[in-house]
Amino acid sequence: METETRYCRICRIEIPKERVEALPDTLVCVKCSEKMGGENEVIITVVATGKPGSLKKTGQEVMVKVKPRELKWVQRIPRQK
């Protein structure tokens, strides 16, 4: 599959193909992502699990939620034609 060339929404440099492949929704380069503290917020919750109807908790389940950070401030930059 051919990966499209994508440019960072903030600094306009080309985002490395490897990053676009790993994060198909990414809009920024690694550096800008780091600057904003990560493009996505990752929320990890550990929940105890057990058999239905049983109060005994026998296992643990990790729930990972990925919430994209607000990119509104990025969109204020006019697009280059």
When binding is defined by CB under 5 A, the residue of 26, 27, 29, 39 that contacts Zn ion is: 29
- Whether the Cβ atoms of residue 14 and residue 6 lie closer than 8 Å to each other: yes
15 binds Zn ion (CB under 5 A): no
- Interface positions, 35-64, toward Zn ion (CB under 5 A): none
11 makes contact with Zn ion (CB under 5 A): yes
Map 36-56 to HEC letters.
Answer: CCCCEEEEEEEEEECCCCCCC
Q: How many amino acids of this chain bind Zn ion (CB under 5 A)?
A: 5
How near is the Cβ of 16 to Zn ion at its closest, in Å?
Answer: 11
- Decide: residue 7, CB within 10 A, 0-12 exposed, 13-18 middle, 19+ buried: middle
Question: Is residue 27 close enough to count as binding Zn ion by CB under 5 A?
Answer: no
Site residues for Zn ion per CB under 5 A: 8, 10-11, 29, 32
